């Protein structure tokens, strides 16, 4: 009887835990090309504060939304709601392309299709 109670308690406690959502089944993301690596640096500098690792934090998650790149670029340039805009003087057009390449590659790594 005591074993069954202990087993039931262990199962119940395990079920109460949360799934680790930031670590994909495929392992940590490693950018494949130089543009993606530059995009990762830009993401860490400008985006990670609010979209930690692409997951939701202060801002919404980016990893689970297959938004078109042009829409993401517009949102990044102009800002929406609490998100500030990042003008070309802060993130150049080339840097914005690298940032988008990183975000798209990160989403693909996490299983989100365009």
Query: Domain containing 105 — which CATH number?
Result: 1.10.760.10
Tens of pLDDT, residues 30-42: 888 999 999 999 9
| Residue 50 placed within a domain | yes
**Where is pLDDT greater, at 76 or 5?**
76
| Residue 106 placed within a domain | yes
CA–CA dist 74, 44 (Å, integer): 19
| Residue 45 placed within a domain | yes
Are the C-beta atoms of residues 43 and 72 closer than 8 Å to each other?
Answer: no
Burial of 107 (0-12, 13-18, 19+ CB in 10 A): buried
Name the band, by pLDDT with cuts 50, 70 and 90, for residue 97: very high
CA–CA dist 100, 72 (Å, integer): 8
In sequence order, what are the residues at sequence separation of 6 or more whose Cβ sits closer than 8 angstroms to the Cβ of residue 56? none
Identify the domain containing residue 48 by its residue range.
35-79+87-114
CA dihedral 94, 101, 91, 42 (to 10 degrees): -130
| Residue 15 placed within a domain | no
pTM above 0.85, yes or no: no
| Residue 62 placed within a domain | yes
* Res 1: pLDDT: 65
| Residue 1 placed within a domain | no
Number of domains within the chain: 1
CA–CA dist 15, 6 (Å, integer): 14
């Amino acid at each position: 009887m005591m074993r069954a109670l202990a087993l039931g308690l262990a199962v119940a406690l395990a079920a109460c835990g949360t799934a680790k959502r930031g670590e994909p089944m495929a392992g940590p993301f490693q950018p494949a090309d130089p543009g993606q690596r530059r995009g990762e640096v830009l993401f860490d500098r400008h985006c990670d504060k609010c979209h930690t690792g692409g997951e939701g934090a202060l801002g919404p998650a980016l990893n689970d939304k297959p938004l078109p790149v042009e829409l993401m670029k517009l949102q990044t340039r102009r800002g929406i709601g609490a998100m500030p805009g990042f003008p070309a003087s802060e993130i150049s057009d080339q840097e914005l392309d690298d940032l988008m390449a990183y975000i798209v590659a990160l989403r693909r790594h996490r299983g989100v299709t365009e």
